[in-house]
Amino acid sequence: MNSLETELIFLGMVGIMDPPRPEVKQAVQECRAAGIRPVMITGDHPLTAKYIASELGISSGGRILTGQELTNMSVGELESVCDEVQIYARVSPEHKLKIIDAFQHRGHIVAMTGDGVNDAPALRKANMGIAMGITGTDVSKEACDMVLLDDNFATIVAAIKEGRVIYDNIRKFVKYLLTTNSGELWVMFTAPFLGMPLPLLPIQILWVNLVSDGIPALALSAEPPETDVMRRAPFKPNENIFSRGLGRHILWVGILMAAVCLGAGFVYWRAGNPAWQTIVFNIICLSSLSHVMAIRSDRYLLFQAGLFSNKPLLASVLFTFILQLVVIYAPFFQGAFKTVSLSPKEMTVCVLLSLIIFVTVEIEKWFNRKQKLSA
């Protein structure tokens, strides 16, 4: 072997570079805007790690910790500085566990990526372990919570966005259904104290729950992401689903819905109008439709979010409105639902009163947003 390396002439040096994917820099910026802090943990030399991190926007000259420094630090000492460090270089598998420990003790939710056998303990310990589907070993895939099929960091950011949209739509679904159910409950509970007969029949309540509420509620799942979905800080993972005003909204809008329905029904009942029960039934159905259009966004007014940005929901509202007209005016359904035909004036009153819900919810959103901007 020694004889092969004699009498050689140096001609030059070749450098090999494994550049980051071009979409990663944009993904890192989206993470920062979304309140997610990217941290580089690598076995590379600190200078190499610093250059790549600066190219991607992960670090701009911040502190770097090396494996040798991590060895001499306790978890408590690392915990006190981990929020300042963006790059960890020359680390070993044991160091990764220590870093995750420090972040978790600080109350952070930690996602960890990896592809090797040595990454498996860290992937298992992190709140969300993400293994590479192409270059990842079987051990890392078994230890993780999610496998990244294209080995692309930008896909993680896209998954975070999709998760936020799904969670937002679940909250809208719950807000919509429970608000209408709350309104029905207040109607049935309050009517006897006003001396009124039964305001809604069981089959009418079933219609509201299954058709008037059910069809638009399903269409809420197609609600597109709000414009600032990736420009807001993450919510606490242990938050109650009724937090951030959802429970309060269900309560006060349900009471308002019941007050509008019973107020109109009481006036027509005292006047001896035989259509009073149909009016109560119609107002609560139309109020739920106006409500679902108002809660499409928690922050933006309907026309700011775009009236046609969720066409399935718009179609479901129009279809449900047509079904409601059929139940009121078709003779067969009048017998089944105990409804009577409403005059044009009575139908106009029902539509205008149901719009009270839409207007008040839009005012609530405008007021809440103005308060946040002035805070």
Which conformational region is residue 35 in: left (phi greater than 0), alpha (psi within -120 to 50 degrees), or beta? left
What are the chain's domains? Answer: 21-27+34-156 (3.40.50.1000), 164-374 (1.20.1110.10)
Q: What residue ranges of the chain have pLDDT lower than 50? A: none
- pTM, 2 dp: 0.86
Q: How many helices (H) and strands (E) does the chain have?
A: 16, 6
**Residues contacting 314, CB < 8 A, separation 6+:** 307, 308
**Residues contacting 87, CB < 8 A, separation 6+:** 39, 40, 42, 46, 49, 50, 53, 58, 59, 62, 63, 64, 65
Which strands form 146-148's sheet, in the order they lie side by side? 111-114, 128-132, 146-148
Q: What whole-number distance in Å separates Cα of residue 123 and Cα of residue 115? A: 9
Residue-wise pLDDT tens digits, 274-326: 999 999 999 999 999 999 999 998 888 888 888 889 999 999 999 999 999 99
Tell me the backbone φ, ψ of residue 116, rounded to 5 degrees. Answer: -100, 170
Buried (b) or exposed (e) across 110-121, using 16+ Cβ within 10 A? bbbbbbbebbbb
Residues in the chain: 375
User: Partners of 87 in the beta sheet?
Assistant: 40, 64
Tell me the backbone φ, ψ of residue 89, rounded to 5 degrees. Answer: -120, 160
Percentage with pLDDT > 90 across the chain: 68
In this prediction, residue 356 carries a pLDDT of 96
Tell me the backbone φ, ψ of residue 296, rounded to 5 degrees. Answer: -60, -30
In this prediction, residue 5 carries a pLDDT of 74
Q: What whole-number distance in Å separates Cα of residue 249 and Cα of residue 288? A: 14
